[in-house]
Structure 1
Amino acid sequence: MNLFETEYTLNDNSKHVGKVASVENASLTNIQLRAGEEIKEHDSKNEAFIIVRRGKVRFTIEGEEVFVTPENLLQMAPLEKHSLHALEDTDLLLIQVKP
């Protein structure tokens, strides 16, 4: 068993991206963004799941917009080009599943 801390740091900082854990077939990253902050378009070789714990984020994936909140979950296939824009102060978890 492991218990990982994901401290909310936006009270003191702007954008925060930090690796939380890595295991044989997955990695977990905590991303915190202030409203209006963005992460530019990129892709990943791994399948990814986005879990928003706080806030609201607009993802643009291969030209299509989708809104991710604490009420839903986003899955992206490997190599899908995407960017994100925080509509509210946001705290999310990125889980990348390694092949």
Structure 2
Amino acid sequence: MKKAETKIQKMKKNLPYGKYVFKDGSQILFNRHYEPLFLTEVGPNQKEILQAKIEDAKKQWFYSDSNSPWTNQDTLTKCKEILKVFGVQNEKS
């Protein structure tokens, strides 16, 4: 049982749960704990993007508790594909 919990915690930390999309098109992937995973910069001012209020960004979620990647293989595959699209090499999940 402990091993499964450890694997789930790693997945919650390392896989994308959703993304914030800013007005300039920049995006931040976030994990299940709402911690940033990856930032893409579309506009010239990355510092401004980082200082932007997350509350003002559009939010998009990739899964819900009913189809989480630790219980649903299709969702796990989707999360890994999202990481590839963002150019993130994630061997931890």
* Bigger Cα Rg: 2
TM-score, normalised to structure 2, is 0.26
Q: TM-score, normalised by structure 1?
A: 0.25
Structure possessing the higher relative contact order (Cα contacts under 8 Å, 6 or more residues apart)? 1
More strand by share: 1
